[in-house]
Amino acid sequence: MRAAIDGLLAKHHGAKDILNPEKLLETQQLWQRLTAESQTISVTTLPAAPVNPPALDSPMTQATVERMSGSVKYFYCSTKVFKTYAAEGLTDPRMSFQDFAATAFFQRELDSVKQRGAEWKRVKEERTKRKSAGPQPSRPRCRFCHMPLKQGSGPHVHTYFPGVAGKYVYCPSRVLSLYKPQGMQKEMSWREFQQSAFYEAEKQRWTVEKGK
């Protein structure tokens, strides 16, 4: 559309009679051809329903709209409104918003928009609640002592035995239960365990378990 108008302006660029009635009529005819089949869409702000709404037979002026409290974002489409209310008496598929606001259908459209807005707000709040109340992913726990396996903190040590593939998680409680019959008297730190007589035995046991 802009390219067509720019072309018309370029065609008559510099002509002294660009504003004469003949050229003005030509421009108006071009505009009518370009917009004959277009869909009228405008963005406006619909007011909330007033406590004492004005009479429907009086025109909806800008001052009346401004006196109403609250606002709702609304995309007015004359085609959509016509399809909605044509069966009930709306006859103009290209009605301006100002004219539509003066009809008996305006308040119904306003109530419908407010209802859809409230429903969307309710759905959004429910989604937020479900998301916040949903189960949080839990950390893996030691199958022996049931404490969280936190890498870098806690009693467990994520390590490996030299020459043995795979990560080894050292659990002091489990190792004590395994080697207490052999003489282990207390839970040891990983460094203490490495220097104890039970280190090689645990390495062998882990090698056999990994090979199963």
Question: 44 with 122, same domain?
Answer: yes
- pLDDT, residue 109, reads 86
Task: Tell me the pLDDT tens digit for each residue of 189-199.
Answer: 999 999 999 99
Question: 22 with 44, same domain?
Answer: no
The CA distance from 185 to 197, in Å, is 12
Question: 108 with 61, same domain?
Answer: yes
Enumerate residues 6+ apart whose C-beta is below 8 A from 75.
41, 42, 43
146 within some domain:
no
Q: How far is CA 132 from the centre of its chain?
A: 15
- Is the entire prediction scored with pTM above 0.75? no
Question: 78 with 111, same domain?
Answer: yes
Question: 115 with 168, same domain?
Answer: no
- pLDDT, residue 198, reads 94
- pLDDT, residue 193, reads 94
- Given a cut of 50, the residues of the chain with pLDDT beneath it are 16, 18-19, 34-43, 49-58, 66, 68
Of 98, 48, 45, 107, nearest to 73 (Cα)?
A: 45
Segments forming the whole domain that contains residue 123? 39-133
Question: 44 with 125, same domain?
Answer: yes
Question: 53 with 32, same domain?
Answer: no
152 within some domain:
no
Question: 63 with 128, same domain?
Answer: yes
179 within some domain:
yes
- pLDDT, residue 4, reads 62
197 within some domain:
yes
- pLDDT, residue 196, reads 94
The total number of structural domains that make up the chain = 3
Question: 17 with 55, same domain?
Answer: no
Question: 51 with 31, same domain?
Answer: no
